[in-house]
Amino acid sequence: SDIQNINLKDLVMDVVTNLQYKAEKADVVLKTDLPQNYVVSADRNQIRQVLINLIDNSIKYNVKGGKVTVGVKPWSKDNTRVLVYVKDTGIGISQQHIERVTERFFRVDKSRSREDGEGTGLGLAIVKHIIQAHNEELFIESTPNVSSSFSFTLSRADHTSFKDEPNQ
Ligand code: ATP
Ligand code: MG
Tens-place pLDDT, residues 111-136: 555 455 578 999 999 999 999 999 99
Closest atom of ligand 1 to CA, residue 122: 3
C-alpha torsion 128→133→136→141, nearest 10: 0
Nearest CA to ligand 1 atom 4: 119
Residue 109 has pLDDT above 90, yes or no: no
In short, whether 108's Cβ falls inside 6 Å of ligand 1 is yes
Given phi > 0 = left and psi -120 to 50 = alpha, else beta, which region is 49?
Answer: alpha
- How far, in Å, is the centroid of ligand 1 from the Cα of 78? 33
Percent of the chain with pLDDT strictly greater than 70: 91
What is the pTM for the complete model shown? Answer: 0.93
CB 23 within 8 A of CB 61: no
In whole angstroms, what is the distance from residue 48 CA to residue 27 CA?
Answer: 23
